[in-house]
Amino acid sequence: MAGEKILVVDDDTNICELLRLYLEKEQYKVSIAYDGNAAVKAFRENEPDIMLLDIMLPGLDGWQVCREIRKFSDKPIIMLTAKAETFDKVLGLELGADDYVVKPFDTKEVVARVKAVLRRTCAVPEAAVKEVQFDKLSVNLTNYELKLNGVKVSAPPKELELLFHLASNPNRVYTRDQLLDEVWGFEYYGDSRTVDVHVKRLREKLDGVSDKWELRTVWGVGYKFETKE
């Protein structure tokens, strides 16, 4: 895997150049923007495979940039933030970010997370199509496509991966920690609120689609994709 395009957005030129150095060593194509307005413009023009996005930016802040990008793209976004409070993390996820890294960060950790996301979203399709289907629902991980009632519905990669994982094992209950481990992978250092936020966003999309299945909360345990006879 090499040659994927990465957009780095941060008003600190030193951070941008450090990330560029490490990412280009891995053969990625890196472009840089130093403020929020430039970030949205660069994203439209360059169509990167993934974006590393700082929250505290001149012009549009990172949250506003994330909101704008999600209006026209589902490409992965990793937030770079000096704020470690749970509220800031959850807000970023609710706006459509896929992951976050708290500053000061280890550059090698950022590169590892980028690789992990790109392995999932830019992998060469396997011979067998990765797809699960239920009444009025289709989740396809070969082309990262969600269809409800036959209509394609926009959803970020991590939401699709979570739904695919649950729906591939109907009626099995997963704890939040299991989902973090099996869907986000060992590279992820998040907390259980991350799972809750993604389930909430999925429910907003899936609400009322069918009475034959449901994304259910098992109180005190976790979540399951429940099918009904």
Whether residue 173 contacts residue 222, with contact meaning beta carbons closer than 8 Å, is answered with yes
pTM: 0.61
Tokens in use for 145?
């496509």
- Residue 155 and residue 64 share a domain: no
Instruction: Report, as an integer, the average pLDDT of 208-213.
Output: 92
pLDDT band at 180 (very low <50, low <70, confident <90, very high): confident
For residue 164, what is the domain's CATH number? 1.10.10.10
- Residue 24 and residue 103 share a domain: yes
- Residue 115 and residue 9 share a domain: yes
Tokens in use for 16?
């941008």
For residue 39, what is the domain's CATH number? 3.40.50.2300
Task: Select from 58, 90, 121 the last residue of a domain.
Answer: 121
DSSP H/E element including 192: helix 192-206
Domain that holds residue 203: 131-227
pLDDT band at 94 (very low <50, low <70, confident <90, very high): confident
Averaged pLDDT of the chain: 86
pLDDT of residue 186: 53
pLDDT band at 189 (very low <50, low <70, confident <90, very high): low
133-172: pLDDT as tens digits = 999 999 998 888 999 999 999 888 889 999 999 999 899 9
Whether residue 107 contacts residue 147, with contact meaning beta carbons closer than 8 Å, is answered with no
Q: What is the number of other CB atoms lying within 10 angstroms of the CB of residue 69?
A: 22
* Nearest C-alpha neighbor of 2 from the set 118, 126, 109, 99: 118
pLDDT of residue 87: 59
How many Å apart are CA 32 and CA 35, to the nearest integer? 10
Task: Select from 121, 147, 172 the last residue of a domain.
Answer: 121
Task: Select from 93, 121, 149 the last residue of a domain.
Answer: 121
Tell me if 59 is assigned to some domain. yes
Higher-pLDDT residue of 120 and 217 is 217
Task: Count how many domains the chain has.
Answer: 2
Higher-pLDDT residue of 129 and 59 is 59
How many Å apart are CA 78 and CA 19, to the nearest integer? 13
- Residue 99 and residue 45 share a domain: yes
Q: Is 125 exposed, middle or buried (0-12, 13-18, 19+ CB in 10 A)?
A: exposed
Bond prior to 58 in cis (omega within 30° of 0): no
Tell me if 126 is assigned to some domain. no
